[in-house]
A and B are shown apart, each in its own frame.
Chain A
Amino acid sequence: MQDALEDPKWKKAMNEEMEALQKTSTWELVVLPEGKKAIGCRWVYTVKLKADGSLDRYKARLVAKGYAQKYGIDYQETFAPVAKLNTIRILISITMNRDWPL
């Protein structure tokens, strides 16, 4: 981690990510309310490669340590929009029988 902070190419990547986060105003700075805990975050570094295997760019992404969140305190409902293959099959069958474009 410390190494990455020193490295200019990672520094640049992190600055890019911070700028993007600031542009969308992802957070505001506040004083931590009493009795609450702040969850951690960390940097994830990836070297993006082009399709032919050559170096594309260095990317840093800030992620929250979601595993530290407690159900009922930090969040209530979760849901992931995952389509069942069944629905897709129904649509394909309907599409075929009606000559729709897909």
Chain B
Amino acid sequence: MELPLGIKQSFEHEGRVCKLKRALYGLKQSPRAWLGRFTLAMKTTGYQQSNAYHTLFVKHKGGKVTALIVYVDDMILIGDDPEEIRTLREYLSAEFEMKDLGQLKYFLGIEVARSKQGISLSQHKYVLDLLSETGMLACKPVETPIQMNHQLGILPDQIPTDMGRYQRLVGKLIYLTHTRPDITYAVSVVSQFIHAPSEEHMNAVYRILRYLKGAPGKGLLYVKNDVSNIEGYTDADWAVDQTTRRSTSGYLTFVEGNLITWRSRKQKVVARSSAEAEFRGMAQGICELLWIKSVLKDLEIKYTDPIKLYCDNKTVIQIAHNPVQHDRTKHVEVDRHFIKEKLDQRIICFPFVRSASQLADVLTKTVSNKDFDSIIDKLGMIDIYAPT
């Protein structure tokens, strides 16, 4: 590195440069250097870096667990060993000049609140800021984030809208999906048009904002459920995209009855049948469930029951169990073998769920107001700021 400006230039400095031995702000590798240093410090105190997730550190001692998650220089400590947590706190503050902020209240703009019922995660302030920024604070709220049977697509004669503004708004909404599975589908729809947004698409974004206005404090509630398993729901909506005929699939995962991850995405390839679309969605859901299983394994938590992945398509469940080559599914081989393998190892099973209680519907299609509310309730979403 060149010498910083303003250093006294004397004769001996002529033609010299600084060879960096430590990381400086702004270098491409600074964050990596920091994690390396941090990992080393954690390992010397007996912590294991999780294989499933690099920023998770775990220590087991006498049947008790302490876990630490790092987000650059923010971290969260969790565990059932108060003694160990105290020791680690002291160690970290001595080693890295860290401040202890006490109980978890606010993390990356997400509000964490505790009550008798459980722990809730919400982005209340973020929603209010977003609404006031867009001048939508006084708008009329709507019941659902997206219109029933919307026909959004990219049309040749569409009226273009302000692209920068559209992209910024969608970006903000994507961040909001961290605590809002209810708008995930709507956001995934509007984000498909960020490269060529039209007035119509912008209106869809405004509709999401109007929906948020109805319940800005809605968030996820984590409660004690007395169930010990991992569960998931998958669903796919076949060939919904008006322009490309690709399908949308979505999944939801639960650990011990609490919602953990959810996703709604347009598939990358065109599926020739609804069963094929379901298959791809299923394979994706399984990947996610296996990842959760591996994280739990690092925490030494194991469940005896196989993971349940609920699916509302009987045909797909049959094909998954039946190794016969079907003419219409022979081209989805990789996903099918993957699913079959996990079935045979009894890691996973596919119970049938009636469409009426299919929770993943909310991630793949527009549902009626009534169904929407009941599904959202089942996901464990509540508005902690709502007047009771």
Contact = CB atoms under 8 A, between A and B. Distances in A.
Given A90-B255, A90-B295, A96 B222 contact: yes
A39 B30 CA distance: 15
Interface string B1-43: 1101111000001011111111011111111101100100000
A80 B224 contact: no
Contacts of B13: 29
Interface string B97-110: 00000011001101
A81 B71 contact: yes
Interface in A2-22: 5, 14, 18
Given A28-B18, A75-B29, A81-B38, A43 B6 contact: yes
Contacts of B156: none
Given A27-B1, A38-B1, A96-B224, A64 B71 contact: no
Using C-beta atoms within 8 Å of the partner chain, give the interface range for chain B: 35 or more
A83 B6 contact: no
Secondary structure call for the B interface = mixed
Given A78-B28, A90-B255, A96 B119 contact: yes
B78 A95 contact: yes
A65 B26 contact: yes
* A1, A39, A88: residue with the most chain B Cβ atoms closer than 10 Å: A88
Interface in B55-100: 55-56, 67, 69-72, 76, 78-80, 82, 85
Given A62-B4, A64-B27, A81 B72 contact: yes
A54 interface: no
Contacts of B290: none
A63 interface: yes
A75 to B, nearest CB: 5
A63 B28 CA distance: 11
A55 interface: no
Nearest to A82: B71
Interface in A57-102: 61-66, 69, 71, 74-75, 77-102
Interface residues of A, number: 55
Nearest to B114: A102
B157 interface: no
B229 to A, nearest CB: 11
A22 B299 CA distance: 41
Given A69-B27, A79-B32, A96-B223, A64 B1 contact: yes
A14 B8 CA distance: 12
A87 B2 contact: no
Contacts of B261: 86, 89
B260 A90 contact: yes
Given A5-B5, A29-B13, A86-B261, A102 B78 contact: yes
12 contacts: A66-B26, A77-B29, A80-B72, A81-B38, A81-B54, A87-B55, A89-B121, A91-B67, A95-B78, A97-B257, A101-B82, A102-B119
Interface of A: 1, 5, 14, 18, 24-32, 38-43, 61-66, 69, 71, 74-75, 77-102
